[in-house]
Structure formats: structure tokens, C-alpha cells
Amino acid sequence: MNQMLADLTQLRVLQESDLTWLTSIAQPTLYPPGTLLVAQGKQSESMYLCLKGALSVQLSQSGGSPQDLLPILAGELTGEMFLLDNDPASVSIAVVEPTELLEIPIPKLVEHLKRDRAFAARFYQFLAINLSERLRKLSKAMAIRNIKEGEPLRKVLLVFATLNDTDVAWMVAHGVSEKSAKGHILIQQDQPVPAVYLLLDGTLGIYLNIANNGSTQEKELATRVKGDILGEMSFIDGGMASATVKALEHTWVLAIPQNQLAAKLAQDSGFAGRFYQAIAEIMFNRCQDLLLRANTNHQTGMADFLSKDIEIEDEIDFDVLDGTAIAGTRFDWMIQQLRR
């Protein structure tokens, strides 16, 4: 069984001891087509690792058939919403062909994540890789349908609430403060991304070039504002930039070089666990945001869905949500240190 798991390239960041533990609490089970693993609007205490076969992420419409949004294939996790979020599932997960799955009990997983810091770092990294690859596919699919990503939760709220003061101090010490004029391209689509960027001030636009009937069309995906993070997907999955990032006004970023960040994560399992957990939560929230917009759009009618640009900007102050006051304090401290 361990060899089967080791052969799945998506599990490359997990060690043999991690795979042994997973198989000790979960046995592979074959599920027939049509099985509903996760029901929209319901909760569960299980996550699923796909070993063979295929699942589908679906949105259910009242009075209509569920719509397939994207597949879940061998090596991918699903059901992560029940680990990262307390809300009922916003989508359904259905089996579309004979599929072998490893059902992971979330209570046991949470207990092990708390007990084993090194395992937590590797598992959250694995989860972040899964979500990054899913977000790439989902972002492109939604861009084609003119659904723009919003920003229902500033990323810094998640990152700075999860990291500790020492982690933030390390970022200040090893990051590079960079200021750019309007029009500057911070990240170029399909090119390497040298750093993870924290937006300290200004506004950035996110654009995706899509091939269409022999020509290339630029789609605006979203805007990013103070307190956002960029380049995290390329850092997590090692891929090229999925979109172009341009300065819409004078901007100020803290660039944390990928090589220095990778070295820190390899040396400090505590920091790695907190960092990868925060990034996984960010990507999960972005996926949820896109799915919510797709679902809302379906309810207004398919004609509107295909013809209108959907853009909703929800601004949330630092002190509105539980745990964000300390995140805001850390972010303000970072800015004060960089201004010296």
C-alpha cells in the first residue's frame, strides 16, 4: 500500500512514515459511480485521498441536474473544507467512475497534526500543493466565463493570525522592500516567479491571457490591495506564474526570495507548519470564493452567467473577525520596521 502511495507524484512531500500512519487509520475502499461522498450543504468528519479513478466537484441547482465544475483525480485530496472550515460544504463531491479512495478521519488527523509538528508541516504543504493546482484550473475556467475573483478575506488576516511574532520578524529581516510606479509588471504570466510578495501599499491588477480562436484575449481576474500576498502559488507548486500582475498605482511590496523562504521552511518545522497551513487556508478561501460566485451566477440565469462580468469586492477591516486584531498589529509592526 505504501508503494502505491509513493508512486503518486502529488504525495512527493510526504515521508514513508507519514504514509504508514495514513494507512494505519484508513483502508482503501472501492466506490461505485454515482456515490455522493460530500453533499452540498452538509458536514462530514472525513477527507478523501483519491488513489485510482475520478471524482467530480459539483454545484447543485434547485430543480436541475448538478453541474460538474472540475475533476478530482488520483493523488488529489478532497473534503479539505472539513479540516479548514467549520461551515457546511458549498459543493458536492461525487464519484464518476469506479474509484479507490482512502477515507481519512478528520478527528484523528487533527490530533496527529497537533502532536507531530514535522508531520503537520509536510501534510499542510501537501494540502497547499493540491489546492494550488486546483485553483489554477478553477481560475482559468472562471475567467473564461467572465467571473472575476473577489477578495472576501484579506490574506494577511490568515497569514499573520497563524504565524507568530518571530516568524514575522524573520520575514522583515530577509525580505526586500520594493517600490514600483504605475504600470510596472511585478509578475509575468508563464514566467518564473522569484519571490513571494506581500503588498504593503497600493493596488495591483491580476490579468490572464487566454487563447481564443487563434488570438489572445486578456481577462481581468481581480485586484489586490494592501495586505495581500502574491506569488504563493508558484512557490507552493513550483510552476510558472498563472497570471500577470501589474501595478495600478504606485505600489510598495516586501519581496521574500523563494530560495531563502524554502531554506527557512526546510530548517524550521514549526514555521513550516504555520506557513503552509496559512497558505492552504488562503487557497481554500479563494476556491470557495470562485465557487460561490459561480453558484450565485447560476441562480440569476445562464444567459446572465455567460454575458456579464461578475465582480464583488468585500472589504473587511482587520478587527471585524476573531483573531484579526493581532494580525493587524503584526502587519502594522512590519510596516513600521520597514519604514525605518
Amino acid at 117: R
pLDDT band at 204 (very low <50, low <70, confident <90, very high): very high
- Three-class SS of the chain: CHHHHHCCHHHCCCCHHHHHHHHHHCCEEEECCCCEEECCCCCCCEEEEEEECEEEEEECCCCCCCEEEEEEECCCEECCHHHHCCCCCCCEEEECCCEEEEEEEHHHHHHHHHHCHHHHHHHHHHHHHHHHHHHHHHHHHHHHCCECCCCCCCHHHHHHHHCCHHHHHHHHHHCEEEEECCCCEEECCCCCCCEEEEEEECCEEEEEEEEECCEEEEEEEEEECCCCEECHHHHHHCCCCCCEEEECCCEEEEEEEHHHHHHHHHHCHHHHHHHHHHHHHHHHHHHHHHHHHHHHHHHCCHHHHHHCCECCCCCCCCCCCCCHHHHHHHHHHHHHHHCC
Distances (CA, A) of 143 to 106, 205, 211: 33, 14, 12
Phi, psi of 275 (to 5 degrees): -65, -50
Least confident of 12-16, 35-39, 180-184, 309-313: 309-313
In tens, the pLDDT along 7-30 reads: 788 888 999 999 999 999 998 999
Given this model, what pLDDT does residue 288 score? Answer: 81
Q: Which residues contact 20 (CB under 8 A, 6 or more apart)?
A: 2
Given this model, what pLDDT does residue 146 score? Answer: 66
**pLDDT of residue 217 exceeding 70:** yes
Residues 96-115, mean pLDDT to the nearest whole number: 96
Q: 197 near 231, Cβ under 8 Å?
A: yes
pLDDT band at 303 (very low <50, low <70, confident <90, very high): very low
Given this model, what pLDDT does residue 266 score? Answer: 95
pLDDT band at 199 (very low <50, low <70, confident <90, very high): very high
**pLDDT of residue 181 exceeding 70:** yes
Give percent of the chain above pLDDT 70.
Answer: 85
pTM metric for this prediction: 0.84
Residue whose C-alpha is closest to residue 332's, from 312, 321, 311, 317: 317
CATH fold for domain 2-115: Jelly Rolls (2.60.120)
Sketch the domain layout of the chain as residue ranges.
2-115, 141-338
**pLDDT of residue 105 exceeding 60:** yes
Other beta carbons less than 10 A from residue 226's beta carbon: 16
Give the angle subtended at the CA of 93 by the CAs of 92 and 98, to the nearest 5°: 150
Given this model, what pLDDT does residue 296 score? Answer: 58
Residue whose C-alpha is closest to residue 149's, from 320, 309, 330: 309
Given this model, what pLDDT does residue 150 score? Answer: 57
CATH fold for domain 141-338: Jelly Rolls (2.60.120)
In tens, the pLDDT along 111-161 reads: 999 999 999 999 999 999 999 988 888 877 776 666 666 554 467 777 888
**pLDDT of residue 307 exceeding 50:** no
